[in-house]
Every structure is written in structure tokens, then in C-alpha cells.
């Protein structure tokens, strides 16, 4: 596909809010290094800390460890104290620093925290020997953001694996409806919620699929060459600038096209559709044709009905953005799978919303005077509510 298709091809892959909201981790560029995120996990695991959770998070963590243990009896919950940056090398002068160590009277849990499930040079066997010193029950845990089992090698395939998502999702679910905790510890919950948004929300397979769709669209539009360039920040800025210019031009073109649809649909309604309706019903159906609404209802043509002494009523031929607003904001029975290339029909008094067979492209090309699809759609809508006999 050519470069001219860039905006329309990429737009579906960019369909998420650009406003991520305030997040302390982003503001402080925190959590980009294992030591930083280990600080937060240590805070959560320590029952005496200021979060007000007591041992609630430690219990969740131990529960996840138990679910991931390759074999053996589950660890006892509760009673753990926490240390950070612990040297597990027992030989003189050796260094192998574990990120976290949890200890109870009988058990030691040595935790390696890393973005992906990779021992990245740390010794699993050394961690295990340290955890089992003095005949204690010992367990080694890989705590990670992204699980990739192909990276679990050199003994790490035997470690219990706990992901940020598994423990943070469970913690947030436990707290979100706890009104007492939310009232007593709002600052702590705010930090936990922001941590959840940073490391859990939107990071699952569906989000990965959307990102992959974006990469595929870059290939389809001939933009894949940008990925071969080295200065990532400069390339990203140039891509955003190019996309901005094309999107700005395409948006303006879209508005012009919508106005053309409106003008031609109004002209067709005035010269053809009203006569078709009157001939089919043996009476005057539409008093006049109007198209003067603005804002979200700009893209429609209004057909006020001749109701005699009855209450005012009208039929609206709606398309594009206005059809989207009707579907999402006004229709009591939204359509299951609307096709926004079509013209939609709405009756004001009954709030009935239908999709016609007539497309916007057909309106632009010029509807044949013998084309009675919109007439039949309107008459069916009126007959359904028994307005005409």
C-alpha cells in the first residue's frame, strides 16, 4: 500500500486514549530499574510499613509463590520479615546480590526481581543454597513484569515464578471495594492504584495484539523502514510530525466530504424523496426538508412530518459522526453491528433507529430518481408505529 494510506491504515491501531492520566511512576521516571521497583515491593511486603495493609500483600505474594512451586509442601503464610539487597554468596569475597529476602522462623525466600523472567547472570544454585542454610526451608522466586519461560535457564526453570500482574491485580481487587481502607489510607491506595495502572492495566494479550497490528500496518503502508533507523527519539518525532500533517489534511477532507453528503442528501430528499412518500401514502407526509442542526447532530437531514393537530414529529436521515452519536448516546436499542458507510433513519417520537441499505458513496455518486430504498425504509418505520394507515 502507498504512503497516502498511512492515516487510514494506522488509525484503527491507535484507537486508545492518549491521556494516560497522572501517574507518579511516570512523573519521577520510577520503576525503570529493578532497584526502584524492588523498593516498592519491599514496602508492600513489610507488614509494619505505612501502607496500612499489615500482612495482606505478603499473604498474596506467598499464595502466588505456592501456586508456582514446582513441588513440595506450600509455604506457611505470615510471620515474614523483609530485607533488601542481600549478598547470597557464602564464600569469602564473593558477591551475588539478591533483590529481596523474606525470612520467617523456619523459611527463607530469596527473590530475584527483573523486568523479564531472566536470571541475568545471578546464580540460581547460589540463591538456593543461601535460602537453605542452617537447614531452613528454602525457596527461590523469580519476580518479573513479563513472563518468558524460554529465558528461564541455568537452574531458573526450577524457580517459583510470580508476575507483577498476578500480585498487583489481586491486591487492587481486594482493596477497591474496601471502604474502610480507602477512607483510612487514601494516599497508600493511590500509589497502589498507580502502580497497577503502570504495570498491569492494558498490558495483557489484547494490548499486545493491538501493538502488533500497528507494526503490521507500518509494514503495509511502507513505513517499516523507520524501524531500521537508530536515533529512536528523532525518528519517533519525525514520524509523529508526518502523521500529524497527513491526519490534519485527511480530517479536513473528511469534513468537506461529509458536507457534500449532506448537501446531496438534502437535495435528493427535497426533489425526489418527498414526492415518493406522498405518492405512496396518498397524502402529504413531509412538510419540508431541513438540514440546519449543528454540533454533534450536524450530519443529518430532517424531514418534519405532517401530523395535522397532533404532536410534532420528524424523520431524520443520519450519517457518519451523527449516526455514531445516535448509536452511542440516544438509541434506546442500539444496533448490534452498525455499518457507518450507510445512511441511518431515526424517528424522533418513537426513538427507533434503523440502518438503511443506501450508502454515503451512493449519495455522493447520485441516487437514481427510481431508487425507492429510503422511501420504503421511512414508510416501514411509520407503519410500524401506525402513524399512517
- Among 164, 188, 206, residue at a domain's last position: 206
Q: What is the pLDDT of residues 83-101, one digit of tens each?
A: 999 999 977 678 999 999 9
Question: Looking at residue 178, what DSSP letter applies?
Answer: -
pLDDT at 22 over 90: no
Helix, strand, or coil (residue 251): helix
Beta bridge partners of residue 314, listed in sequence order: 304
Rounded average pLDDT over 321-341: 94
Percentage, residues of the chain above pLDDT 90: 64
Q: What is the pTM of this model?
A: 0.57
128: its cell numbers: 538456593
The verdict on residue 174 lying in a domain is yes
Structure confidence at residue 209 (pLDDT)? 74
In a domain, 4, yes or no: no
pLDDT the model gives residue 30: 63
Please check whether residues 138 and 273 belong to one and the same domain. Answer: no
Q: How many domains does one find in the chain?
A: 2
Residues 187 and 262 in one domain: no
Last residue of a domain, one of 171, 206, 241: 206
Beta-strand pair 107-116/137-146: parallel
Higher-pLDDT residue of 301, 230: 301
What's the average model confidence in pLDDT over 188-206? 80
Of the listed ranges 189-198, 278-287, 326-335, the one predicted with least confidence: 278-287
Q: What is the pLDDT of residue 384?
A: 42
pLDDT higher than threshold 90 for residue 383: no
Q: Which domain holds residue 267?
A: 256-384
Residue 71 lies in a domain: yes
Banded pLDDT at 77 (limits 50, 70, 90): confident
Half-sphere exposure of 355 (CA within 13 A, CB side): 16
Residue 33, in any domain of the structure: yes
Residue 246 belongs to a domain? no
Residue 244 lies in a domain: no
- Indicate whether 199 and 286 sit together in one domain: no
In a domain, 211, yes or no: no
Residue 215 banded pLDDT, cuts 50, 70, 90: confident
Q: Is 159 found in the same domain as 30?
A: yes
Average of per-residue pLDDT across 169-175: 95
Residue 187, domain member (yes or no) = yes
262 and 202 assigned to the same domain: no
Quick one: pLDDT at residue 200? 86
DSSP E strands, the chain:
81-87, 97-103, 107-116, 137-146, 160-163, 300-304, 314-318, 342-347, 352-359
Residue 6 has pLDDT above 80, yes or no: no
Taking residue 31's Cβ as centre, other Cβ atoms within 10 Å add up to 21
Spatial strand order of the sheet with 107-116 comes to: 81-87, 97-103, 107-116, 137-146, 160-163
Listed in sequence order, the residues at least 6 apart from 381 whose beta carbon sits closer than 8 Å to its beta carbon are: 315, 345, 347, 350, 352, 354
Q: At what angle do helices 164-176 and 56-68 cross, to 10 degrees?
A: 140
- Residue pair 223/239 in contact (Cβ under 8 Å)? The answer is yes
pLDDT at 292: 76
More confident residue, 264 or 201: 264
**Lowest-confidence segment of 34-48, 240-254, 329-343 by average pLDDT:** 240-254
**Is the pLDDT at 387 greater than 60, yes or no?**
no
17 pLDDT higher than 80: no
Task: Say how far residue 279 (Cα) sits from the centre of its chain.
Answer: 51
pLDDT at residue 70, rounded to an integer: 72
Residue 171: pLDDT over 50:
yes
Same domain, 26 and 164: yes
Q: Which three cell numbers stand for residue 173?
A: 481487587
CA distances from 165 to 68, 80, 102 (A): 14, 22, 20
pLDDT in tens, 125-162: 999 999 999 999 999 999 999 899 999 999 999 999 99
Residue 365 confidence (pLDDT) above 80: yes
Condensed to tens digits (0 to 9), the pLDDT of residues 96-120 reads 999 999 999 999 999 999 999 999 9
Query: What is the pLDDT, as a whole number, of residue 4?
Result: 47
pLDDT number for residue 203: 53
- Let me know whether 137 and 278 are in one domain: no
Same domain as 274, residue 187: no
Residues 51 and 144 in one domain: yes
Cβ atoms of 144 and 117 within 8 Å: the answer is yes
Same domain, 279 and 184: no
Same domain, yes or no, for 158 and 299?
no
* Mean pLDDT within 32-54: 92
pLDDT at 74 over 70: yes
Model confidence at 307, pLDDT cuts 50, 70, 90, reads: confident
Do 161 and 304 reside in the same domain of the chain?
no
Amino acid at each position: 500500500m502507498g504512503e497516502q494510506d498511512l492515516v487510514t491504515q494506522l488509525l484503527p491501531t491507535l484507537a486508545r486514549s492518549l491521556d494516560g492520566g497522572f501517574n507518579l511512576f511516570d512523573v519521577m521516571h520510577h520503576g525503570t530499574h529493578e532497584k526502584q521497583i524492588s523498593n516498592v515491593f519491599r514496602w508492600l511486603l513489610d507488614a509494619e510499613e505505612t501502607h496500612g495493609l499489615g500482612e495482606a500483600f505478603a499473604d498474596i505474594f506467598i499464595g502466588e509463590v505456592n501456586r508456582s512451586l514446582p513441588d513440595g509442601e506450600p509455604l506457611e503464610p505470615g510471620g515474614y520479615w523483609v530485607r533488601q539487597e542481600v549478598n547470597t554468596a557464602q564464600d569469602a569475597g564473593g558477591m551475588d546480590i539478591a533483590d529481596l529476602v523474606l525470612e520467617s522462623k523456619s523459611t527463607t525466600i530469596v527473590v530475584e526481581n527483573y523486568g523479564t523472567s531472566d536470571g541475568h547472570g545471578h546464580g540460581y544454585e547460589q540463591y538456593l543454597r543461601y535460602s537453605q542454610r542452617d537447614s531452613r526451608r528454602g525457596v527461590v522466586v523469580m519476580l518479573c513484569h513479563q513472563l518468558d519461560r524460554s529465558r528461564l535457564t541455568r537452574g531458573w526453570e526450577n524457580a517459583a515464578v510470580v508476575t507483577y500482574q498476578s500480585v498487583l491485580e489481586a491486591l487492587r481487587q481486594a482493596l477497591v471495594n474496601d471502604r474502610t481502607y480507602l477512607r483510612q489510607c487514601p494516599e497508600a491506595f493511590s500509589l497502589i492504584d498507580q502502580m497497577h495502572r503502570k504495570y498491569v492495566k492494558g498490558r495483557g494479550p489484547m494490548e499486545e495484539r493491538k501493538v502488533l497490528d500497528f507494526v503490521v500496518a507500518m509494514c503495509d503502508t511502507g513505513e517499516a523502514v523507520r524501524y531500521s533507523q537508530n536515533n529512536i527519539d528523532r525518528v519517533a518525532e519525525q514520524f509523529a510530525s508526518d502523521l500529524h500533517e497527513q491526519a490534519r489534511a485527511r480530517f479536513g477532507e473528511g469534513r468537506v466530504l461529509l458536507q457534500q453528503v449532506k448537501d446531496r442528501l438534502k437535495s435528493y430528499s427535497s426533489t425526489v424523496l418527498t414526492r415518493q412518500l406522498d405518492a405512496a401514502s396518498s397524502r402529504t407526509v413531509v412538510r419540508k426538508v431541513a438540514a440546519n442542526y449543528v454540533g454533534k447532530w450536524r450530519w443529518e437531514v430532517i424531514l418534519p412530518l405532517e401530523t395535522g393537530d397532533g404532536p410534532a414529529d420528524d424523520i431524520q436521515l443520519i450519517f457518519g459522526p451523527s449516526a455514531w452519536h445516535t448509536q452511542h448516546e440516544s438509541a434506546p436499542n442500539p444496533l448490534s453491528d452498525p455499518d457507518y458507510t450507510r445512511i441511518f433513519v431515526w424517528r424522533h417520537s418513537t426513538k427507533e433507529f434503523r440502518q438503511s441499505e443506501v450508502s454515503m458513496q451512493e449519495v455522493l455518486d447520485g441516487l437514481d430518481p427510481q431508487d425507492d430504498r429510503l422511501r420504503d425504509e421511512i414508510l416501514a418505520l411509520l407503519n410500524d408505529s401506525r402513524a399512517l394507515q
